[in-house]
Structure 1
Amino acid sequence: MANEESNEAHEPAVGTSALLLQLPDVAPHLKPWIDWWPHDGFTTHVTILVPFLPDSEIDEGVLGELRTLFAGFAAFDVTFAKAARFPTVLYLAPEPEQPFRDMTAAVYERWPQCPPYAGKYPDATPHASVVYDRTEAEYEDVARELGTRLPLRTRAAAVDLLIYDGSRWNVRESFPLSEL
């Protein structure tokens, strides 16, 4: 299992990009915990790959390849039925997780210079972060309250390419998954 730390602990460089499967209909169920996140520009999500290429390297050719790559994956229903932990993050575990792993692997196979989480973790466990950098008691309280709200269900239908501009993440393009 991955040992992801708070990925919010370090401000990204201007032009950093991320491929995220955003879950805006899950976010309201995670209030008040996600309200204090400094994530201007995106919502609750499962990361497909971060960091991706620098913005300056993302041209129409790269965008076209991403369109084709993600169109090769079918949209799917996702359930979040349990919370889990990395040492510094309480997260929701997606079921199924394999489609997320498959998308991450496909992007990394095409762009091997962009390992998930910059190669920091041997296993990029799919997850939707809820809180990070809390005391054990706080993690336990959040997990207990969160348990009363589960399961949460949604549809994974598109992957967004976001670019950090120094103060905010902006969606540059959304790549629909196929509807079979």
Structure 2
Amino acid sequence: MADDDFHGFHAGQSGLIVRVPAAEPAVRAWRGRLDPSARVGVPAHVTVLFPFLDASRIDQGVCTAIGEVLDRHQSFEVRFERCGRFPGVLYLAPEPDTPFRRLTEAFVARWPENPPFDGQFDDVVPHLTVAQGQDEDVLEKAEADLLGRLPVVAHVSSVDLLVHDGTRWRQRGSFPLR
């Protein structure tokens, strides 16, 4: 869920993600060692919107609105066939990435006060983070291993709402796509 500048999780933060359980066998060991979000309860995923609303603002009305946004989007298949990089970050690249971009755009249109990653990036690239904050040699080793474990194919049928309780990320809801 987090990228370089978002390691300082705090109670009440929330985010919307697409879980990718099919990727867990390929990425679990690397994420457990090299991705701080994995160590605090975040599963293999593609971020849809982080940060989302503060947990104190999430009520039944917000949950209903999340469902309404998702009702306009169909479930889809995605493949992870290659790795990509940001500075200090190794990730799996979803193909196609357009459905993830559309989900993010739809949530930002509904909650414009919550731009992805606090508006830090001009182009929000959908990705499944495997390692972050690592030296190049560590990323190269992880990537070489991952390439032998790809492709990963997944069916995306829901978006999960996660909330940080001050120690770990917990699922607060799961919302189906049409």
TM-score by length of 1: 0.91
Q: What pairs with 1:30-45 in structure 2 (closer than 5 Å)?
A: 30-36=27-33, 37-38=35-36, 39=38, 40-45=40-45
Q: Distance in 1 between matches of 2:8 and 2:46?
A: 19
Name the structure 2 match of 1:95.
Answer: 95
Asked if structure 2 preserves the Cα contact closer than 8 Å seen for 1:5 and 1:87, the reply is: no
Asked if structure 1 preserves the Cα contact closer than 8 Å seen for 2:88 and 2:136, the reply is: no
Name the structure 1 match of 2:173.
Answer: 173
Name the structure 2 match of 1:57.
Answer: 57
Q: Distance in 2 between matches of 1:142 and 1:41?
A: 21
- Cα distance, 1:81–1:121 mapped onto 2, change above 3 Å: same
Name the structure 1 match of 2:143.
Answer: 143
Q: Supply the AA of the counterpart residue of 2:64.
A: G
- Identical residues among aligned pairs (%): 40
Root mean square deviation of aligned Cα: 1.4
Q: Distance in 1 between matches of 2:116 and 2:165?
A: 21
Asked if structure 2 preserves the Cα contact closer than 8 Å seen for 1:5 and 1:88, the reply is: no
Name the structure 2 match of 1:125.
Answer: 125
Asked if structure 2 preserves the Cα contact closer than 8 Å seen for 1:5 and 1:86, the reply is: no
Q: Distance in 1 between matches of 2:41 and 2:67?
A: 21
Name the structure with the higher helix share: 2
**Residue 48 of structure 2 corresponds to residue 48 of structure 1:** yes
Name the structure 2 match of 1:81.
Answer: 81
Structure 1: 5+ residue stretches without partners: none
Secondary structure (helix, strand or coil) at the match of 1:52 reads coil
Structure 2: 5+ residue stretches without partners: none
Q: Distance in 1 between matches of 2:143 and 2:154?
A: 20
Name the structure 2 match of 1:159.
Answer: 159
Runs of 4 or more consecutive aligned structure 1 residues displaced over 6 Å after TM superposition: none
Offset of residue 7 of structure 1: 5.0
Asked if structure 1 preserves the Cα contact closer than 8 Å seen for 2:91 and 2:131, the reply is: yes
Q: Supply the AA of the counterpart residue of 1:67.
A: G
- Cα distance, 1:159–1:7 mapped onto 2, change above 3 Å: farther
Question: After alignment, is 97-106 or 58-67 more displaced?
Answer: 58-67
Secondary structure (helix, strand or coil) at the match of 2:129 reads strand
